[in-house]
Structure 1
Amino acid sequence: MTTPPKPAAIDTEAPHVMPANPARIATLLSNLSSVTVRVTSASQKASRDKPIRLVAVSKLKPVSDIIALHSPPVNLPSAHLHFAENYLNELLEKSRLLPPSIKWHFVGGLQSNKCVSLARDVRGLWAVESVDSEKKASLLDKGWSERPTDPNLRGTTVGVACGGGEQPDNEDDKKLRIYIQVNTSGEDNKSGVDPAHAAALCRFIRDRCPRLKLQGLMTIGAIARSQATSPGTQNEDFLCLRETRDRVAGELGLDSPDELELSMGMSQDFEGAIALGSDEVRIGTILFGDRPPKAEATIF
């Protein structure tokens, strides 16, 4: 396994960027260790060979929490690299303040009028996981083409790291990774493409968006199904996403469905998601604790 890179220094011009207090750091690192053990155990029970990527969802949490996991004391575990945000303005600010070695995922509802800025302006952007239309894909492709040539502003491609599981660098790492969001629950209040239309959107991204890499499929399932999920039960949303992925792979003529990742599973249901083939879990509450109301949240 490749040794994770030493995290870059925090932006010294950023005001009031202070580390968390020692008790908070200890809590966060303990939470990460506990979740990592559970991810590893679920992976082993499912006889998974490929490491599961653990994405820390840090929305509405201060930069000090992210620093605690990404730049822990030298005698503690290696840097965690993958973090996710839901709101563009928050992600823009955090990516400016925090080390460029962080691999940022955007997992929130995606508005067309923000796609270009998201792809163009977020330092260290690694993936956008909530694409559900050709228009949004095209705008992300446009934004990626306008991205500055400064390597610190491009997505980082630094090999295998804590919570990683990605393969060594290749030509596709110059592209923006895209997961299409699938509405597996059929709920009107959920974003995502209908499962029946997923293949057409995937084909559009593959064939018409040269700066995007089709990484896989993502879902946010129904809350009731999530709450009822255990390591021994099968969540209908996860089954639907896996079946959709397999069908898409066949329609695109891929050699194996495993060429497309599954991003499914959050704090309440990630072990059940891993059992059904998830390649990536997005964990927030059990890492960082409950979130404050958006109006009261601060990044400092």
Structure 2
Amino acid sequence: MIRAMGDIPISLSATQVLSKIKQACDKRKEAFKNINVRLVAVSKTKPKSAIIEAYNCGLRYFGENYVNELSEKSHDPEVIEKCPDIKWHFIGRVQKKQINKLLATRNLSIWETVDSQVVADLANGSLERNFAGKKVSVMVQVNTSDEPNKAGIEPENVNNLVEHIISKCPHLELVGLMTIGSINHSLGEGLNPDFERLEKCKQEVCRKFDFDADKFELSMGMSSDFETAILMGSSNVRVGSTIFGQREYKK
């Protein structure tokens, strides 16, 4: 049995997170009551044994930040055998030369970090050339905190990118918006202005392009702030260290 936070096993950590998600859902305002919430267990840098244990606890969605790591895990024979219904989310940056490898991910569920027309076009072209008949669900990543070192399109340009994907990228299915909020806001109390900004982007997109607001997704919230994110309309929370423990990076 793998330990997550200190002496807490992954099974208990996952159960606690799922319980907090339910409690947050119960507290949401009426406008968000019909929005289902998905837990994505962020397994970057974690061994496949941890993924298999979390899967055996009932988790099905797993997130990875690095293309090579995602490719290795998704094609691992033991993961394929023991986690047949696993679904992968890509939540990191991708180099142009890695797009083909990313799109070849086994059981790729959602690519959450499409943030430019160039990336959308490259992905659409790759699917057309190399993956006949395949369509990939994507989210538009938005830089809601205006941090220059952070990926994501500016909020004022979201509609332009959405329109481009809808009209020019038939092999991409747009399912929502994603953000990584400022750490200062995530650790603060009360409403998170980054989440509020993304929810306003969603309202504009749904109004302009006639998306169903209950089904058009918002991916926001991580270990430190997923409960707040749910209260503010998130349908997809990305929780890593709270489930798996602190990450260990190679030196």
Cα 1:62/1:23, change in 2 over 3 Å: closer
Match of 2:240 among 274, 284, 289: 284
Partner residue in 1 for 2:45: 60
Equivalent pair of 1:184/1:240 in contact (CA under 8 Å): yes
User: Is 1:177 the counterpart of 2:137 in the alignment?
Assistant: yes
Q: Percent sequence identity over matched residues? A: 40
1:86-141 Cα deviation digits (max 9, x unpaired): 0000000000112242100000012222222211x211111100110111111222
Equivalent pair of 1:116/1:142 in contact (CA under 8 Å): no
Offset at residue 51 of structure 1 (A): 2.5
* Secondary structure in structure 1 of the residue aligned to 2:98: helix
Q: What is the distance in 2 between the residues matched to 1:41 and 1:101?
A: 26
1:179-233 Cα deviation digits (max 9, x unpaired): 000000000011000000000101111111111110100000111001114xxx1
Partner residue in 1 for 2:11: 29
Equivalent pair of 2:223/2:239 in contact (CA under 8 Å): yes
AA partner of residue 63 (structure 2)? A
Equivalent pair of 1:226/1:268 in contact (CA under 8 Å): yes
Offset at residue 276 of structure 1 (A): 0.6
Q: What is the distance in 2 between the residues matched to 1:23 and 1:288?
A: 8
Partner residue in 1 for 2:91: 107
Offset at residue 27 of structure 1 (A): 0.3
Equivalent pair of 1:112/1:135 in contact (CA under 8 Å): no
* Secondary structure in structure 1 of the residue aligned to 2:151: coil
Offset at residue 237 of structure 1 (A): 0.2
Offset at residue 41 of structure 1 (A): 0.4
Query: 1:132-281, aligned counterparts within 5 Å?
Result: 132-145=115-128, 146-147=130-131, 175-229=135-189, 233-252=190-209, 254=210, 256-281=212-237
Equivalent pair of 1:117/1:143 in contact (CA under 8 Å): no
Greater relative contact order (Cα < 8 A, sep 6+): 2
Match of 1:92 among 61, 71, 89: 71
Aligned residues: 239
Uncovered stretches (5+) of structure 1, i.e. residues with no partner = 1-21, 150-173
Cα 1:191/1:255, change in 2 over 3 Å: closer
Q: What is the distance in 2 between the residues matched to 1:261 and 1:134?
A: 20
Offset at residue 62 of structure 1 (A): 0.4
Q: What is the distance in 2 between the residues matched to 1:49 and 1:206?
A: 25
Using the size of structure 2 for normalisation, the TM-score is 0.90
Using the size of structure 1 for normalisation, the TM-score is 0.76
Uncovered stretches (5+) of structure 2, i.e. residues with no partner = none
Cα RMSD over matched residues?
1.8
Equivalent pair of 1:118/1:143 in contact (CA under 8 Å): no
